[in-house]
């Protein structure tokens, strides 16, 4: 893993997941410049992240090929989540910096969160509780083959 000038990758959850042996079971797809991983603490079933392989903190720090692959994988993730869960909508967001809500502020990542009319996301706000009925391993088994098919064509 190559560190960017925007920060040291030591202790980074994303760099650690990418370099883990055996590979992290939460990784759904590895691209040339970015990868897709399930959020370990999801807001809803299928909550995933698109992450540059390079440890970089901002969109401005990405080179053009990284930015293009980040967008292409976000598009594929939208297709995969739609096929797997038929959500009524999907939140797509990037938090740049801790003040903006980034949980891992040194390593940029895009969230894709499936949403349904009447879903229970309010629970996190009012009860400090998340309601996610699908175990992460089952989510990975459901989504990984869909990424393979979606990105093969």
Residue numbers annotated as active site: 109
- Minimal CA–CA distance to 105: which of 95, 114, 115? 95
CA 145, distance to chain mean position in Å, is 16
Token pair of 132 as six digits: 């996610």
Is residue 11 a contact partner of residue 107, using CB atoms and an 8 Å limit? Answer: no
Q: What is the DSSP string of 32-86?
A: SSEEEEE-SS-SSTT-EEEEESSB--SGGGS-HHHHHHHHHHHHHHHHHHHHHH-
d(CA 136, CA 112): 15
């Amino acid at each position: 893993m190559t560190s960017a000038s925007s920060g040291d990758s030591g202790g980074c959850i994303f760099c650690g997941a990418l370099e883990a042996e055996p590979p992290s079971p939460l990784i759904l797809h590895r691209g040339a410049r970015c990868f897709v991983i399930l959020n370990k603490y999801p807001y809803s079933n299928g909550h995933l992240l698109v992450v540059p392989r390079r440890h970089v903190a901002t969109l401005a720090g990405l080179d053009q090929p990284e930015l293009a692959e980040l967008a292409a994988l976000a598009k594929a993730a939208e297709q995969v989540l739609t096929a797997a869960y038929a959500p009524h909508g999907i939140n797509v967001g990037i938090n740049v910096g801790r003040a903006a809500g980034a949980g891992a502020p040194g390593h940029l990542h895009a969230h894709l969160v499936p949403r349904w009319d009447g879903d229970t996301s309010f629970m996190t706000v009012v009860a400090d509780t998340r309601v996610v009925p699908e175990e992460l391993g089952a989510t990975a088994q459901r989504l990984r083959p869909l990424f393979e098919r979606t990105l093969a064509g």
